[in-house]
Amino acid sequence: MSTVETKAPVSAAGAAGSGFSPLGQGTLLMAAALTTVDAFIVNVALPSIQKTFHVSASTSQFVVSFYGITYAVLLVLGGRFGDRFGRRKLIQIGVGGFTIASLACGIAPNIETLVGARILQGAAAALLLPQVLSTIQASLQEPAKTRAVSYYGAIGGLSAAVGQLLGGLFVWADIAGLGWRPIFLVNVPLGILAVIGTRLWVPETKATQPQGADLGGTALFGTAVLALLVPLSLGRQTHWPLWTWALFVVSAAVAFVLWRYERKVETTDVVPLIAPSLLSQSAMKRGLLVLGSGFLAFGGFIFVFALAVQGGNRMSAFESGLSMAPMAVGQFLAAVRAPKLIGRVGVRTLQIGGVLQVLGLVALIVPALLWWPHVHFYELVVGMFLIGAGNGLFVPTVYRTVLSSIPPNQIGAGSGIVTTTQQTTLALGTALLGAVFMGVSGGGDTRLGFVVVCAVFLAVAVAFAVFGKSLKPEESSR
């Protein structure tokens, strides 16, 4: 297995001993935020994209799902490339590719070009994101490491909320008559700044004994994910033909082959894409289950929220985006407080986050039942704030638990599994809960579809509040 890290041209010892500057850490977090913001910024803009290209809702959904699928499938491979070629170098390549792909999205003449550019964005993001967490792990010591991991963990939910807020703002502003296109074009100057900042302030790290890429595992994993998400995305619109059910069977069969293949690969010198030895650890299994269920519910909720409040509740894109602002504020405030709270009560922070999310979801369901389709954004402020605050406590707690369960000589593989779980379940949540929403509201009752999706999220939050303490810190400590 690969050991931890070396650093060039600035020594790894220097980085580990003194850390790297706040500017470098801020650059890393900004780069990570770009990838997640872009996963969600399109949600609010989907109705405008549909009108521009005269396509159906199911077709426009590929703008969201294909980005997430590509992102998830290539994440671990991106982590291996960083181990071998240097993480700062891969960050620069990833951000550069992401910036170029964003420009292509912004000037896309048709839906096919837009979807293709989104696939390239996802691939570039997969090169970038694994390097962020690995660089933090390699270059910082406690307590700076826990603080940086907490901020990194909070980036997912915070960026999702900010992404939809910005998406609504840009669509409403209609800058230079460009409609939805600035949601992608804004990445160009930010990407250039991230490339420069990475070059100036982020240390170079790499594995001392980099392992080969598990191309077979990557291909099998990608096939299993695609075979699952495509019918989930298209099944209802195509009335569930035989091929959709056949793909579900293919997904399950390939997943089984993947598991057997990875067990065999782990006996060789190649580090498997998904290491069975890591997944056999109790803290890792529980942590990934919690992480995956949380991101699945949250990702699906965020996607459905934009569709429901614009399509069924008659909100404008701006008001829909504005509704996300309280969530972003709650996420940020909770993320700032999370490290101290984790230090005091440990994994019970997860239960506190679950309680906050339960209260927040109830505060959304009630006005939806009472006033739909005339619910205004100010009637959702309390609920969205509490959901954001709960997520701001949930994510850092689970990240800290899972990462601390990974042996130092498997940190690259373990970080890859964590980020792959996060992005795969985000994509799965978009497809699965999106299908639930469209199925339930197919007769025109968008309120019922929205409430059902909120209820699914509520059930997950209740589970965290009740059973969160079972994710015991002593099981995950090493």
- pLDDT greater than 90 at residue 148: no
pLDDT in tens, 130-147: 888 788 877 877 777 777
Q: How does the average pLDDT of the chain come out, rounded?
A: 83
Examine the pLDDT at 473 and tell me if it is beyond 60. no
251 pLDDT more than 90: yes
| Per-residue pLDDT, 212 | 64
Lowest mean pLDDT among 22-31, 61-70, 242-251, 388-397: 61-70
Note the pLDDT of residue 477.
40
Per-residue pLDDT tens over the stretch 313-325? 888 878 887 888 8
- pLDDT score for 255: 92
Please tell me what DSSP assigns to residue 7: E
The C-alpha atoms of residue 191 and residue 30 are separated, in whole angstroms, by 9
- Count other C-beta atoms under 10 Å from residue 270's C-beta: 16
Q: Are 194 and 97 in contact (CB under 8 A)?
A: no
- List pLDDT tens digits, range 347-391: 888 899 999 999 999 999 999 999 998 898 889 999 999 999 998
What does each C-alpha distance from 153 to 142, 249, 401, 402, 422 come to in angstroms? 16, 34, 11, 11, 10
CA–CA dist 82, 251 (Å, integer): 29
Task: Answer yes or no: is pLDDT of 188 > 50.
Answer: yes
Q: What is the pLDDT of residues 427-472, one digit of tens each?
A: 788 888 988 888 888 767 889 999 999 999 999 999 999 887 777 6
What type of residue is 54? H
pLDDT higher than threshold 50 for residue 18: no
- Report pLDDT digits (tens) over 204-221: 887 676 666 678 888 898
Flag whether pLDDT at 193 surpasses 50.
Answer: yes
Q: What is the 3-state secondary structure (H, E, C) of 190-220?
A: HHHHHHHHHHHHCCCEEECCCCCCCHHHHHH
| Entry pTM | 0.77
